[in-house]
Amino acid sequence: MNQRHYSIIFNTTTGARRSIRINNPNPDLLREDIAAAVDVIIDNDVFDQTDNGSLSYLNRMELTVIERTAVL
């Protein structure tokens, strides 16, 4: 059984980092569609800006795949 998630890390205007995790992403999405969705997140600044500033740009995005094999 495999589990997948995207980790999306943003830099903020104050130099802090903010992140979100998206579980079970759709593997059929095109990179252009993913990039457009990330741009929407930045444009709409979905995080509270009080302590860490507003979203500035994408730092990195990673796909993590966890594979588990039952032994017993």
| pTM summary value | 0.82
pLDDT digits (tens, 9 = 90+) for 26-64: 989 999 999 999 999 999 988 877 788 999 999 999 999
**Amino acid at residue number 7:** S
Q: Where are the domains of the chain?
A: 2-67
pLDDT at 40: 95
pLDDT digits (tens, 9 = 90+) for 14-26: 999 999 999 999 9
pLDDT at 34: 94
